[in-house]
Structure formats: C-alpha cells, structure tokens
Amino acid sequence: QSVLTQPPSASGTPGQRVTISCSGTYSNIGSNAVNWYQQFPGTAPKLLIFTNHQRASGVPERFSGSKSGKSASLVINGLQSEDEAIYYCATWDDNPTGRVFGGGTSLTV
C-alpha cells in the first residue's frame, strides 16, 4: 500500500489530454513539493517534473504538473504513442519522515 494514491491505470488516444492524479495528506503533499517520474519497461525511472511544476531538462512542454492542497496532477497534452509508460508521483513526508511514492499509473495510448 503506497503512501500516495494514484489510479493504477489511465488511457487516451493520440492527441488527447490525459490527467494523472496523486493524492496524499497534509504531512506529505500538503507540506512539500511533488515530483513526477516516467518509467518505460526495463529501464530506470526518469525525472519528468520537479518542485510541483518545473519540467526537467529535455521534457516536452506538453507535460505539465500542478499541486493544490493535498493533491497533485500530471497533465499530458497532445498525447503521443511514445508516452505509454508508468508514471509515479513522489514527495517528502514529514510524519513519519521520508521520501514517499505513489503506486504508479500505467498509461496506455
């Protein structure tokens, strides 16, 4: 059971907009910044979004992140087939202290 809650799956067709949610509590998302990672099968995760909404180097502008209260969202505009991957949200938890992840959302395009 992951500390952060993500839907296990999401889907869309090419060109669509997809939103992946990540919910937590006051001690984690409510008090800290959220980061998003993208993982393709057989490869290490890659940083996508840091500090809630900052895109990592080389990440296309169609990826965006936001945070409000105890929830965060990853939005992919203009979905492409190469976006098919698993997406994880992550943040720091103040109680108990430590880095926590969502269970991951498998995106199908």
Partner 1 sequence: QEHLQPWGAGLLKASETLSLTCSVYDGSLSGYFWIWIRQPPGKGLEWIGEISHRGGTNYNPSLKSRVTISVDTSKNQFSLEMTSMTAADTALYYCVRGVYDAYSGYADYWGQGSLVTVSS
53: left (phi over 0), alpha (psi -120 to 50) or beta: alpha
For partner 1, the binding residues in 42-71 under the rule CB under 8 A are 44-47, 50-51, 56
Query: Which ranges of the chain does DSSP label H, i.e. alpha helix?
Result: none
Cα distance between residue 49 and residue 56, in whole Å: 6
Tokens of 103: 């269970």
* Cβ closest to partner 1, residue 16 vs residue 54: 54
Using the rule CB under 8 A, give the single segment among 9-17, 28-36, 62-70, 71-79 that binds partner 1.
28-36
38 binds partner 1 (CB under 8 A): no
Tokens of 79: 């979905």
Which residues of this chain interact with partner 1, rule CB under 8 A? 2, 32-33, 35, 37, 44-47, 50-51, 56, 88, 90-92, 96-104
